[in-house]
Each structure stands twice: as structure tokens, then as C-alpha cells.
Amino acid sequence: MIQARRIRIEKPGDYDVLRLEAFAIGAPRPNQVLIEVAAAGVNYADGIIRMGLYESAKKLHGYPITPGFEVSGRVLEVGAAVRRFKAGDEVVALTLFDGYSSHLLLEHDRVFARPASLSFDQAAAVPTVFLTAWFMVHELAHARAGERWLVHSAAGGVGGALAQLGRLAGCEVTGVVGHADKAGAARAAGCTHVIDKAGEDLWRRAEAIAPGGFDAIFDANGVSTLGQSYRHLAPTGRLCVFGFASMLPRGRGVPQWPRLAWDWLRTPRFNPLDMTRRNRSVIACNLSFLSAQGPRLIRGMEWLLPRFASGELAPPPVTAYALGDAARAQAAIESGRTVGKLVLHP
Ligand SMILES: NC(=O)c1ccc[n+]([C@@H]2O[C@H](COP(=O)([O-])OP(=O)(O)OC[C@H]3O[C@@H](n4cnc5c(N)ncnc54)[C@H](OP(=O)(O)O)[C@@H]3O)[C@@H](O)[C@H]2O)c1
């Protein structure tokens, strides 16, 4: 038994429900790997779990819950049937919750060798956001060189990953950011054009950049931009929907229920007759509900990790917090002012 530490949420609520607790962790089962975590990725979704609004956390796990979808670290011990790893190997891993922890037991097929080009912090910052972006770009939207894309929140985790995958696929990416000081991060991620929606008219500028519309638009804002995103698709354009952040409080910790209900009512419902007439598609995904599709996600990791090793893809900028400061990290990402990714150090 190892004495370990993790963040635990007994019941949904404000930042103070993120409590650091000690727990004991046992030996790996035959197909498992015991990992000593070096860094755990923080995602915007983790705060939605804290608020009690994340459907897969309720349906696939329930509360109490430890959030976290990814870690990097060292293998301490492997189960009797595991041949891919041995004690001492440095790894990066996908978790379905539980990542905010000092130690983890994971099925070995969710664990991958850490590319030498990535530090532990960088390795923990990659899986969720790049896998989400890879899934949308290569499994749903099918990137084609020469396309024009618009990526919302292009300085953030998934947005930055989308910009990089777009550039790699030969697409011209326009990134939208919520503050002027994020423009540099969006450009570094691969955006040819950057629109600061706080300082300029988002859609007027978008129309100047792509008068015929965009071939793909990636939108995790929901109600605040979704309708206009659909209207700015070119014929055969695809709108990829993967989140609804604009319904949620900006750094206030708990949902404002009347506004949430109003925004839910106002969220566009797309009309198949209009979609057909205009040759526009709306596609969507939620990766946490795809955990049962392990082989597909493993294929994504096997596509991504060599490209980090070769330098075709670069890790996002990373800001680290102590595990016990998980509340500060979540407040930061929910403020809407972070760039790149945040990680926790156990
Ligand atoms: N469907 C999936 O499988 C999946 C997987 C991963 C992530 N996601 C979603 O993708 C989005 C990005 O996730 P991430 O972890 O990479 O986060 P992030 O983009 O690093 O940070 C969130 C960003 O969202 C924007 N935003 C819009 N409304 C906001 C609000 N009310 N409060 C705070 N921020 C707001 C802000 O950027 P700007 O102001 O610059 O726009 C903010 O920086 C989230 O909505 C997340 O739920 C979905």
C-alpha cells in the first residue's frame, strides 16, 4: 500500500469543494500500471464537474469524484500481464476522471511512452486537448489543405491544438480570442489571422477575411457565437460544436441558474432543411462519452505523440500549480484569461 494524495469533490459546489485528501493505493491488477504522477492536466471541463453540470461525470462516475483527464509520470509497478512497460518508465496517460492525484492505477492501454521532446509538464498538457482536436479534425471534419477555418478561443487548450492541427493540414486558420493579450499565443499556435473579439467586431472582420465563409468553424462557446458561426459557413462548411462555455459563470464558481436556463433556451437548434439547402453541416463530440471507444482514442494518441517527438507539433505554453492549489487553477481557467494549459504538481 502506498499513501497517496488526491483532490476530492464530495458534492458539487464552489471552489472550496476541491479538498486535498490522503488515500491508500494498492498493487496493480494484471493489466494495470501503477503511476507516480509528475503532473496532472487541468481542463475547463474539470470546473464543470465541480459545478455538478458535467453529464458524463454524473452518468459514468457519480460523486464523490476526483477530476482530471490526463497525467504524466513514472511507472512504479506493473501488473503480471503487462509487457509494454516496466518500473521506471516515463509515461503520459489518459484517465477518465481521477487525474488530480499523486498516484494512479490505470489499464496499460491508456498509458503511452512520454516523448523525449516533452517535459513532464508539457506531456500532461497534451492528451485531452490534442485528442479532442484530432478527433474533430481527422475523424469528423476531415481537414483538406487550402481550407479556411475559424477557431474560437484559439489561445486556449483545445483552440490552440486545433490551430496547430489546421496549420499542419495546410489550412488557413483564423483564431478568435477574448482579449488582446492572447493574440500572440494564437499566432504562435498557427493562426494566420487573429480576431480580438473584445476590441473589434468579430463577424465584420471574419467576413473581410473569408467573404465566402469558412470551410470549418470550431465552437465551444455555445449560445454567444453558435448562431453566427453557422451563418458564416461556406457551402460544404462544417460547424464543429464541442462545448457551451458562454453559458457558464466567468470565474464566479457556481452556475447562475436563471441565466443558464435562459441561455439553454436561446441555444440554436439547427434546421435540417436549411442545412441541406445551404450545404452546411453541424457535427459535435464529447470525448468523455467516447471512453468506450478505446481503440479509436488510442489511434489518436499514436497519431499525435510521434508528431511531438518529430517537432511537427509543439506543446502549448504551460502554467503549473501545486495539487493543493487546484481551486486556484480552476478559478484561473474559468476567468477566461489563461493561455495554453494549466497543470498540477502533486
Ligand atoms: N467535447 C469535448 O470532448 C471537449 C473536450 C475538451 C474540451 N472541451 C470544451 O472545449 C472548451 C475549451 O476547453 P479548454 O480546457 O481547452 O479551455 P480553454 O480554452 O483553455 O479555456 C476556456 C476558454 O473559453 C473561453 N470562454 C468562453 N466563455 C467563457 C466563460 N463563460 N468562462 C470562461 N471562459 C470562457 C475563454 O477564451 P476566449 O475568451 O479567448 O474565447 C477561455 O479562455 C471548453 O468549453 C471545454 O468544455 C470539449
pLDDT bin (cut points 50, 70, 90) of residue 192 is very high
- Which residue lies with its CA nearest to atom 11 of ligand 1? 220
Whole-number Å distance between alpha carbons of 324 and 330: 12
pTM of the model: 0.98
Q: Say if residue 209's pLDDT is above 90.
A: yes
Which residue's C-alpha comes closest to atom 5 of ligand 1? 132
How far apart are the CA of 23 and the centre of ligand 1, in A?
31
Q: pLDDT at position 69, please?
A: 97
Given a cut of 90, whether residue 92 has pLDDT beyond it is yes
At residue 128, the pLDDT reads 97
Instruction: Quickly state the pLDDT bin for 167 (edges 50, 70, 90).
Output: very high
Q: Is the CB of 220 under 6 A from ligand 1?
A: yes
What is the C-alpha R_g of the chain?
A: 20
Atom of ligand 1 nearest to the CA of 44: 15
- Check whether 210 has a pLDDT greater than 80: yes
* Mean pLDDT in residue range 137-157: 98
Does residue 327 carry a pLDDT above 90?
A: yes
CA of 242 to the centre of ligand 1 (A): 9
Q: Is 286 in the pocket of ligand 1 (CB under 6 A)?
A: yes
Q: Is the CB of 131 under 6 A from ligand 1?
A: no
Index of the ligand 1 atom closest to the CA of residue 250: 32
pLDDT at position 233, please? 98
Q: Which 3 state secondary structure label does DSSP give 54?
A: coil
- Give pLDDT, residue 89: 98
- Residues 82, 110: Cα–Cα separation, whole Å: 12
User: For position 293, what pLDDT does the model report?
Assistant: 79
Cis? peptide before 67, omega within 30° of 0: no
Taking residues 139-146, report their average pLDDT: 97
Q: Positive or negative CA dihedral for 126, 289, 108, 84? A: negative
Mean pLDDT confidence for 78-85: 98
Q: What is the pLDDT of residue 294?
A: 82
Query: How many angstroms is it from 68 CA to the middle of ligand 1?
Result: 15
**Residue 250 near ligand 1, beta carbon < 6 Å:** yes
Do the Cβ atoms of 121 and 39 come closer than 8 Å?
Answer: yes
Cα(85) to centroid(ligand 1), Å? 34
Q: Read off the pLDDT of residues 50-59 as tens digits, 9 standing for 90 and up.
A: 999 999 999 9
Mean predicted lDDT score pLDDT of the chain: 97
Q: Is 213 in the pocket of ligand 1 (CB under 6 A)?
A: no
pLDDT digits (tens, 9 = 90+) for 242-293: 999 999 999 889 999 999 999 999 999 999 999 999 999 999 999 999 877 7
Say how far apart CA 146 and CA 213 lie, in whole Å.
Answer: 14
pLDDT of residue 115: 96
Ligand 1 atom 37: residue of nearest CA: 153
For residue 156, report the distance from its CA to the centre of ligand 1, in Å.
7
pLDDT at position 87 is: 98
Distance between CA atoms of 61 and 52, rounded to whole angstroms?
A: 12
pLDDT band at residue 15, thresholds of 50, 70 and 90?
very high
Ligand 1 atom closest to residue 287's alpha carbon, by position in its atom list: 3
CA–CA dist 191, 175 (Å, integer): 6
Residue 283 burial by Cβ neighbours in a 10 Å radius (0-12, 13-18, 19+): middle
